[in-house]
Structure 1
Amino acid sequence: MTTAVSVFEQGGVIAYPTEAVFGLGCDPDNQAAVEKILKIKNRPVEKGLILLAGDYQQLKPYVDESKLPADVKQQMLSRWPNGVTQVVPASSKAKPFLTGQFSTIAIRVTTQADVVALCQQTGKPIVSTSANYSGEEPGKSWQTVEQDLGSAVDFIIKGDTLGFTKPSTIIDALTGETFRS
């Protein structure tokens, strides 16, 4: 039986529910899988990607915590889980195919049960970018994703978003600057 975990571990692309829309994701350490997502979306690698996880521990290997003052880290952690993506200094484990042209990585902790379960079962975060072709509206249901992207993805988690009305806010964890509200 094909499962989200087996697809993740074999380098496949998964469509899954997030807070407001469906995302496309894969193993963040599998360059070929990340490149497949970029190709599906027609998205330039320079833009970078988000990592989504069920808890901060799964994200820590990708973050250079030595560049996060204790008060900033505490404030960052206090914003989760709440549909807030935070841009933080990237560690060497966060490869350029994830960070794009930046020395930072965008990360988020979610309570969406399907994502939490997948991340717990794999012990890793998942790449997160909206499930749509570049310039198109993101899918808000698995049925829409199946119709729009169908054979382009390897597995669709047939769950529900958390019902947020817009994609996550993106802020710089160090400065508080908002990139997307």
Structure 2
Amino acid sequence: MLRDEVSKAFEVLKEGGLILYPTDTIWGIGCDATNAEAVDKVFKLKGRSGEKSLIILLDSHSKLQSYIKEVPEIAYDLIEFAENPLTIIYTGAKNLASNAISGDGTIGVRIVKHEFCTQLLQRFRKPLISTSANISGESSPASFFDISPLIKDGVDYIVNWDQHVVTGAKPSTIIKLESGGKFSFIRK
């Protein structure tokens, strides 16, 4: 049952643990984006350099101002009109674990439209780290069954929701916002 899975994941996140969970794109490794120790566990599990940036998930654009110093107006239009999952890179990240923020002060944020993620984010009331469920340098898993046993064994909880769904999911589109309302595509 969805509510039970949200509760189990919530308890793990509260304790600084890692979850393996379905998102609106591909399966992700997640943790509390405000907990530096948890974020460090994600980097270690993936074998990923701390210089590489991470993405956070929020359930509503109204929460952007809690984590971004100044949200450009165009961001709201981009979010509203995006047909596919969209990650926007913002400057001026705040109120997040320092190791979740890129060295240049930016953070990628996706407003998620996924039943499990939305309910978990509403209950947790903090942003979640979302990074692909793979070892750094390997290809992103297209389904739960493609996830490496190393990743599955390295998390504290595997969400038992949508594991059977095989959609050929792909990562989100990534846009970087620049000054003056300009933006550029990082990944289409």
Q: What TM-score does the superposition give when structure 2 sets the normalisation length?
A: 0.83
SS of equivalent residue, structure 1 residue 93:
coil
Describe the superposition over 1:52-71 as per-residue Cα deviations: whole angstroms up to 9, x where unpaired.
12212344311112xx443x
Q: Distance in 2 between matches of 1:10 and 1:177?
A: 37
TM-fit CA distance, 1:93: 1.5
Q: Which residue of 2 aligns with 1:47?
A: 52
Describe the superposition over 1:102-156 as per-residue Cα deviations: whole angstroms up to 9, x where unpaired.
2211000111111111101111221010001011222333344373422200111
Contact 1:58 1:125 in 2 (8 A): no
Contact 1:88 1:172 in 2 (8 A): yes
Q: Which residue of 2 aligns with 1:29?
A: 34
Q: Distance in 2 between matches of 1:87 and 1:79?
A: 17
Cα root mean square deviation, aligned: 2.3
Q: Distance in 2 between matches of 1:158 and 1:141?
A: 13
Most deviating of 153-162 and 42-51:
153-162
Most deviating of 45-54 and 89-98:
89-98
Q: Percent identity?
A: 32
Q: Distance in 2 between matches of 1:31 and 1:91?
A: 15
1:107-122 equivalent positions in 2, closer than 5 A = 107-122=109-124
SS of equivalent residue, structure 1 residue 91:
coil
Aligned residue type for 1:40: L
The number of residues matched between the two structures is 178
1:151-166 equivalent positions in 2, closer than 5 A = 151-160=153-162, 163=167, 165-166=169-170
Contact 1:112 1:162 in 2 (8 A): no
SS of equivalent residue, structure 1 residue 7:
helix
Contact 1:172 1:178 in 2 (8 A): yes
Residue ranges of structure 1 left out of the alignment (5+ in a row)? none
Residue ranges of structure 2 left out of the alignment (5+ in a row)? none
1:98 aligns with 2:100: yes
Q: What TM-score does the superposition give when structure 1 sets the normalisation length?
A: 0.86
Of structures 1 and 2, the one scoring higher in RCO (CA 8 A, sep 6+) is: 1
Q: Distance in 2 between matches of 1:165 and 1:103?
A: 29
Most deviating of 74-83 and 45-54:
74-83
Aligned residue type for 1:116: T
Describe the superposition over 1:149-179 as per-residue Cα deviations: whole angstroms up to 9, x where unpaired.
2220011112236936421010013322011
